[in-house]
């Protein structure tokens, strides 16, 4: 059913795609000569549209659902199907929307989605927790090796307009805790416009989360069950605290990993001694070591990591200087900022001490 349902209604055209995991609907304005519905093979429909001149397009179907797409001197005819067997958008009751800037939402998804587990055998890990508590939105993912947390306060965008009225009430959103399939969240975030001044609305039902932005509505199923108690996995204890220039740290890990393949599972070994960090990696045919200045409090340490996990975090942190907390070579290391709007935990890996 990789089809797009094209529905011509009074004064508008509705495009619907639904793979039972995720349903997307978008509304277009258009001149409707006759209402009707047809299901078109998605890729073929897209291909037929995408090279047309920027001009008016006419779409019509005959009794056999053969669909004609006309634009200037060009005409495609593509086979369609009856829309009858095609699932519409699930009927969901929408109330009490959570409003947030499109860009902010897109960002926090990007900054957490990478640690959703790719192994789908664990249903809960294949999802990402979206939580609202005390008017703060948290997005949390974990895959058994690492945890990513992003928090953002919810603000009433229009607070200036209705400052006096029900500002207090409008500011508050009821508490929410849903687990959204990572794949769906990824798909949605791709089509959300990256604009700070446009809002996305989220609605929650027992079985679904609904995303509304511009003329588009997306309905995703949610994963039923209780998510991990991530709070219990966090700790403020540390033996070593480092401040590091993020770009130089990322550059250094990138340089280390060019000589290994991702499948090699070679750890990077990080040694902290005084105010200097040494990053080392070994492969059968080459080795790398790089020195970086750091600002250290506490103990020296030598600890190994899967370099991909470190890179994933460093790529999505925007701060120029990051703070890293470590306990010992077997305990997770934490990268977080002062107000904990982001917290990343990465488990270390064993490494044979090499010279």
What is the three-class DSSP state of 201? strand
The reply to whether 252 sits near a second copy by the rule CB under 8 A is yes
The reply to whether 201 sits near a second copy by the rule CB under 8 A is no
The reply to whether 287 sits near a second copy by the rule CB under 8 A is yes
Distances in whole angstroms, Cα of residue 28 to Cα of each of 2, 18, 161: 20, 18, 30
For 33, counting Cβ atoms within 10 Å of its Cβ (0-12 exposed, 13-18 middle, 19+ buried), the class is: exposed
Given a contact cutoff of 8 angstroms between Cβ atoms, the answer to whether 159 and 152 are in contact is no
Q: Using the rule CB under 8 A, which residue among 29, 73, 237, 339 binds a second copy?
A: 73
Give, as ranges, the residues between 38 and 57 that touch a second copy (CB under 8 A): 41, 44, 47-48, 50-52
The reply to whether 288 sits near a second copy by the rule CB under 8 A is yes
Q: Using the rule CB under 8 A, which residue among 13, 36, 65, 76 binds a second copy?
A: 76
Interface with a second copy by CB under 8 A: which range of 70-78, 83-91, 144-152, 338-346?
Answer: 70-78
The reply to whether 246 sits near a second copy by the rule CB under 8 A is no
How would you classify the pairing of strands 22-29 and 12-18? Answer: antiparallel
**How many residues bind a second copy, per CB under 8 A?**
28
The reply to whether 265 sits near a second copy by the rule CB under 8 A is no
The residue among 73 and 225 lying less far from a second copy, judged by its C-beta, is 73
Which among 128, 248, 250 is positioned nearest to 185, based on CA atoms? 128
The residue among 291 and 318 lying less far from a second copy, judged by its C-beta, is 291
For 260, counting Cβ atoms within 10 Å of its Cβ (0-12 exposed, 13-18 middle, 19+ buried), the class is: buried
Interface with a second copy by CB under 8 A: which range of 97-105, 265-273, 280-288, 313-321?
Answer: 280-288
Which among 23, 33, 28 is positioned nearest to 6, based on CA atoms? 28
Given a contact cutoff of 8 angstroms between Cβ atoms, the answer to whether 152 and 136 are in contact is yes
**What does the DSSP 8-state code read for residue 76?**
E
The residue among 75 and 96 lying less far from a second copy, judged by its C-beta, is 75
The residue among 20 and 258 lying less far from a second copy, judged by its C-beta, is 258
**Closest separation in Å from C-beta 290 to a second copy:** 4
Q: What sections of 90-226 are H helices per DSSP?
A: 102-110, 167-171, 182-191
How far apart CA 290 and CA 97 sit, in angstroms, is 50
Interface with a second copy by CB under 8 A: which range of 77-85, 103-111, 126-134, 217-225?
Answer: 77-85
* Residues at the interface with a second copy (CB under 8 A): 41, 44, 47-48, 50-52, 73-79, 251-252, 254-255, 258-259, 285-292
């Amino acid at each position: 059913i990789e089809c797009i349902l094209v529905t011509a209604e009074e004064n508008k055209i509705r495009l619907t795609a639904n793979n039972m995991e995720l349903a997307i609907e978008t509304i277009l304005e258009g001149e409707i000569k006759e209402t009707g519905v047809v299901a078109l093979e998605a890729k073929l429909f897209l291909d037929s549209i995408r090279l047309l001149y920027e001009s008016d397009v006419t779409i019509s179907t005959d009794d056999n659902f053969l669909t004609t797409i006309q634009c200037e001197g060009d005409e495609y005819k593509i086979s369609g199907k009856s829309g009858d067997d095609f699932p519409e958008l699930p009927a969901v009751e929408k109330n009490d929307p959570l409003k947030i800037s499109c860009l902010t939402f897109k960002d926090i998804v990007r900054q957490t989605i990478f640690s959703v587990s790719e192994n789908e055998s664990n249903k809960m890990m294949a999802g990402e927790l979206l939580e609202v508590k005390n008017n703060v939105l948290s997005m949390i993912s974990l895959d058994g090796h690492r945890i990513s947390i992003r928090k953002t306060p919810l603000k009433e965008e229009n607070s200036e307009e209705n400052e006096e009225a029900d500002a207090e009430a409008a500011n508050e959103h009821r508490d929410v805790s849903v687990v959204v399939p990572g794949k769906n969240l990824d798909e949605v975030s791709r089509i959300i416009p990256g604009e700070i001044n446009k809002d996305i609305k989220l609605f929650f039902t027992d079985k679904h989360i609904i995303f509304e932005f511009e003329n588009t509505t997306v309905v995703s199923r949610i994963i039923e069950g209780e998510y991990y108690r991530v709070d219990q996995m966090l700790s403020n204890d540390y033996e070593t605290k480092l401040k590091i220039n993020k770009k130089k740290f990322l550059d250094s890990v990138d340089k280390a990993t060019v000589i290994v393949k991702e499948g090699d599972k070679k750890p990077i070994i990080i040694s902290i001694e005084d105010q200097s960090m040494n990053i080392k990696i070994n492969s059968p045919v080459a080795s790398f070591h790089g020195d970086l200045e750091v600002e250290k409090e506490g103990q020296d340490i030598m600890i190994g990591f899967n370099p991909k996990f470190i890179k994933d975090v460093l790529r999505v942190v925007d701060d120029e200087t990051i703070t890293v907390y470590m306990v010992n070579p077997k305990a997770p290391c934490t990268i977080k900022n002062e107000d904990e709007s982001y917290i990343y935990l990465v488990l270390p890996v064993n490494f044979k001490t090499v010279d």
